[in-house]
């Protein structure tokens, strides 16, 4: 538990500009403070947000930027006040590495809604240094934002759960949608959507996948276990589904009409938005008023929800459908992700990768 040298270095793959191309980058890793955990990174999932951030799609990117917020690794050092973890533990780190600790969301253990939350990367830590993500050999994180990976869960399977998994689990839990027998819709079958199908089915729901084409029908029904598959432009089928769903989880990250999916909700049904969209969305108010329907949003999940979700996935035997790649393939993986050419999540084998150019 001794303090290691102040100028400890590590290497990651970073974007240098809005081209989003990643290449090796060596930077200083901060000292392990009293409540910090030093983690040797084993693997890291690739999220669509990584693509947005590296390309400055949101207009707030700072470079050099090491992305990655679905991090799984091994504890190699703990601070003197760390009580939750010991050297050798397999742990995970998600989207956040800090919060203020004193606001209303923090007091309710909902740190993801803290106005001063600190992102895992493309942010500034309390020491004034930039945060860097999981496409790197190591990271140092406050123990509050580290979770244990359940024993027996494969590390590459655990990685996508730290963002995609908890992003779906959190609203189902918060809005009282965990009980069996509900009927739900999953709009969009990417990294988050495919976990939505798996988690909702494990909760005992009847799940309808709503997609833009037939390309993923067989996978949705056979591989993921969805009960029904509907193309959003099929007006006849959509009409049959009208007023039948308790909720729709909308994972689509681009501008789209909301009315077709609001019409699927029954009385008090909820349309839960999860896609990051910069353009305003529109809807007709009578569609809400005449069914007391709700349009709401949800953002990742709390640390408590993440721990709960991991235990749920272990208990139910849930896993992600992934493609494991090496770090030197990451730029190609980003290009494929931009074309939705992945089933359903890339995971970078950090431990087994060459960090040279």
Write out pLDDT tens, residues 64-77.
999 999 999 999 99
Residue 268 and residue 292 in contact, taking contact as beta carbons nearer than 8 Å: yes
- Mean pLDDT of the chain, nearest integer: 95
Q: Does position 253 have pLDDT exceeding 90, yes or no?
A: no
How many angstroms from the chain centroid is the CA of residue 227? Answer: 24
pLDDT in tens, 89-115: 999 999 999 999 999 999 999 999 999
**Rounded to an integer, what distance in angstroms lies between the CA atom of residue 260 and that of residue 194?**
21
Residue 302 CB partners (closer than 8 Å, separation 6+) = 109, 110, 111, 112, 170
**Cβ of 89: how many Cβ atoms within 10 Å?**
17
Question: How would you classify the pairing of strands 265-273 and 245-250?
Answer: parallel
- Which of 94, 97, 91, 96 minimizes the C-alpha distance to 40? 91
The string of pLDDT tens digits covering residues 316-339 is 999 888 999 999 999 999 999 999
Q: What is the pTM of this model?
A: 0.92
Answer whether 189's CB lies under 8 Å from 209's CB. yes
Cα 186 from Cα 230, distance rounded (Å): 10
The arithmetic mean of pLDDT across residues 201-219, rounded, is 96
Beta bridge partners, 270, equal 247, 294
Model pLDDT, residue 3: 46
pLDDT mean over 292-300: 97
Q: For the CA atoms of the chain, what is the radius of gyration? A: 20
Residue 6 pLDDT:
54
Length reported for the chain: 357
**Is the confidence at residue 4, as pLDDT, over 50?**
no
């Amino acid at each position: 538990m001794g303090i290691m040298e102040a100028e400890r270095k590590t290497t990651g793959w970073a974007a240098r500009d809005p081209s989003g191309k990643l290449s090796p980058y060596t930077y200083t890793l901060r000292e392990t403070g009293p409540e910090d955990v030093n983690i040797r990174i084993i693997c890291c999932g690739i999220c669509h947000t990584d693509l947005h951030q590296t390309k400055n799609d949101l207009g707030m990117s700072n470079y050099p930027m090491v992305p990655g917020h679905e991090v799984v690794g091994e504890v190699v050092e703990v601070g003197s006040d760390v009580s939750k973890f010991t050297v050798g533990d397999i742990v995970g780190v998600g989207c956040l590495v800090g919060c203020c600790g004193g606001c209303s969301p923090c007091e309710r253990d909902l740190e993801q809604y803290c106005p001063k939350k600190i992102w895992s990367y493309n942010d500034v830590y309390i020491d004034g240094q930039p945060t860097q993500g999981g496409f790197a050999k190591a990271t140092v994180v406050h123990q509050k934002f580290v979770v244990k990976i359940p024993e027996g869960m494969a590390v590459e399977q655990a990685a996508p759960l730290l963002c995609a998994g908890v992003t779906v689990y959190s609203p189902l839990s918060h809005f009282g949608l965990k009980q069996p027998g509900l009927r739900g819709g999953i709009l969009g079958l990417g990294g988050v959507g495919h976990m939505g199908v798996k988690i909702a089915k494990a909760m005992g729901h009847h799940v309808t996948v709503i997609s833009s084409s037939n390309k993923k029908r067989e996978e949705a029904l056979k591989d993921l276990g969805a009960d029904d598959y509907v193309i959003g432009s099929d007006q006849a089928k959509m009409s049959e589904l009208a007023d039948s769903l308790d909720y729709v989880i909308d994972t689509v990250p681009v501008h789209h009409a909301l009315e077709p999916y609001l019409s699927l909700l029954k009385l008090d049904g909820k349309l839960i938005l999860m896609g990051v969209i910069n353009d305003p969305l529109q809807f007709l108010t009578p569609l809400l008023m005449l069914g007391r329907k709700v349009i709401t949003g949800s953002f990742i999940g709390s640390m408590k929800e993440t721990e709960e979700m991991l235990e749920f996935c272990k208990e139910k035997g849930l896993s992600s459908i992934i493609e494991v790649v090496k770090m030197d393939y990451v730029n190609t993986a980003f290009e494929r992700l931009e074309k939705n050419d992945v089933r359903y999540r890339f995971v970078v084998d950090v431990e087994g990768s060459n960090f040279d150019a």
